[in-house]
Amino acid sequence: MNPAPKVICLGEALVDRLGPLGGDPVTASLDQCDDRLGGAPANVACALARLGTPSAFVGRLGQDAIGESFERLMADRGVELAGLQRDATRPSRVVLVRRHADGERVFQGFAGDQGQGFADQALDCSELRAVWLALAAQAQWLLVGTIPLATAASAESLRWAVDQAKGAGVRIALDVNWRPTFWDEHRDPAAGPDSAALSAMQPLVAAASLLKLAKEEALWLFGSADPSTISAGLPQAPDVVVTDGGNPVRWHLAGESGVLEALAPPQVVDTTGAGDAFSSGLLHQLVQGSVSPETMLRFAAACGALVCGGAGAIDPQPDAAAVQRFLQR
């Protein structure tokens, strides 16, 4: 049996279909693309388990080959799967990822829809209720993003889980992870959230003890990319981390603020999942406790840097020993 999870990761698990470098996954043949298991909450759950922090994944996958692959992978990693749901009518989602020559990526649509949407959009609250108490018995953190808010069923499940966690003293970690194509497949992948999306996000923002945002997300939501300003403007005064690609990370943790220079990856093959690896490194350190904010942030940054050295978001995830070796170098 897996140890009781310390971090529950709720949301999407999906396949990132990585197009050829500089090419387009829409027009490329399948043998030119690289299909990798991903989805931010699934990435974080797997990365935490690799680092040694017991984790659980709550989400919904199709009764298909992708779902089977995820179940095997997470079981092998030791991720608790009592909250994994399987959908007999909706498929697992495939996300088309265009990669520029430098490894940066753009999410530009989906594949596999058979007319009823995707399994992750139908996360069932009644199934979640049946397993929640056992799943959350020793949890310290619930990690969520905003993608489940884009669909009514998954939004209901997300909000219910957040309410339950708050009532039980489980802290909420929100990685905003704004992806406009999940809300409207035809939207510009670079577009910011509209007023309806911003309104839907506000209860999550207000519940978060830890808020992680990309710089552009911080500007969209708060008009500022300064973590201490963002924290001071929210009633619960959360810890706030603002990332900016390969630029320095700005942070406000435990009442302290600072800037961390980015750690250069050994090589850049693919940046998909680097932010999720960062989140997992930070949560791992928060669960461990007894280290300074600077130490936590350097560990998290190392996790993100190491993931850039391989294809996909999950396969290159390091264990804690690999992170320490990288930091010592």
Nearest to 322 by CA among 312, 311, 310: 310
Q: Do residues 56 and 82 make contact, with C-beta atoms less than 8 angstroms apart?
A: yes
Buried b (16+ CB within 10 A) or exposed e, 217-250: bbebbbeebbbbebbeeeeeebbbbbbeebeebb
- Residue 20: what pLDDT? 73
- Residue 28: what pLDDT? 72
Can you list the domains of the chain with their CATH numbers? 7-328 (3.40.1190.20)
For each of the chain's 329 residues, which pLDDT tens digit applies?
Answer: 678 999 999 999 999 887 777 667 666 777 778 888 999 999 999 999 999 999 999 999 999 999 999 999 999 999 999 999 999 999 999 988 877 766 566 777 898 888 899 999 999 999 999 999 999 999 999 999 999 999 999 999 999 999 999 999 999 999 999 999 999 988 888 899 999 999 999 999 999 999 999 999 999 999 999 999 999 999 999 999 999 988 999 999 999 999 999 888 888 877 778 999 999 999 999 999 878 999 999 999 999 999 998 877 899 999 999 999 999 98
Measure the CA–CA gap between 329 and 311, rounded to whole angstroms: 23
SS3 128: helix
Per-residue pLDDT tens for 69-99? 999 999 999 999 999 999 999 999 998 887 7
- Residue 186: what pLDDT? 86
Beta bridge partner(s), residue 260: 249
- Residue 265: what pLDDT? 86
Measure the CA–CA gap between 242 and 227, rounded to whole angstroms: 7
Sheet (strand 247-253) strand order:
84-87, 55-62, 7-10, 141-144, 171-175, 210-214, 239-244, 247-253, 256-260
- Helix (H), strand (E) at residue 250: strand 247-253
- Residue 97: what pLDDT? 81
Q: Do residues 269 and 103 make contact, with C-beta atoms less than 8 angstroms apart?
A: yes
